[in-house]
Amino acid sequence: MVNLSWYIIMLYIHIFSVVLSIGPYFVLFPLLALIRRAPFEQLPDYLEPFRITVRLTKHAGHVLVATGILLTWITAWSWKTSWIVATVLIMVASLYFIARAFSPLLRQLKAPHEDRNFLVNKLRKALILYVIITLAMMWFMVSKPTIW
C-alpha cells in the first residue's frame, strides 16, 4: 500500500498549479499570427482563449498560493528565507502585471481600432514578459538559492 503524506499531496497539487499557471500561455503564441490577420468579425473567437487562459491561471494562482503557504508551514521553512521572499516579491509583481497587461489589451482588440499590429505586438511582449516572470518564480521555488 502506498503511504501518501500531506506533504506529498500538497507538493503535487502545488506543482500541478504551477503547470496550470504557466503552461497555457505557451499555447497562445501561435494565436498571435491568427489575431494579426483575422477579419474583425472573427477576432472574438481568437481572443477567447486569451480570456480563458487569464481566468484559468488566476484560479491556478490561488491554489498555488494556498499550497505554497501550507508547504511552507508543513516543512517549517522560514518566511524570511531568501528564495521564499524572492518568490513572493516576484509573485506580487506578476499579479500587478497580469492585471495591467492582458485585460486592457484584450478589451482594446475587441473594440474597433486603427492599428491591430501595434496591439498584437504589445500582447506578444506581455506574453513573453509574463512567461519570463513566472519562470523566474519557478526557478526560485525549484533551485531554492541562498541569497542572504
> What contacts 119, CB < 8 A, 6 or more positions away?
105, 108, 109, 113
Longest pairwise C-alpha distance within the chain? 63
Distance CA 45, CA 65 (A): 31
Q: Give percent of the chain above pLDDT 70.
A: 98
Residue pair 28/53 in contact (Cβ under 8 Å)? The answer is yes
130: number of Cβ within 10 Å: 21
Q: What is the mean pLDDT of residues 49-69?
A: 91
Mean residue pLDDT of the chain comes to 90
Q: Give 29's pLDDT tier (boundaries 50, 70, 90).
A: very high
The per-residue pLDDT for 54 is 86
Q: What is the mean pLDDT of residues 56-68?
A: 92
Q: What is the mean pLDDT of residues 64-80?
A: 91
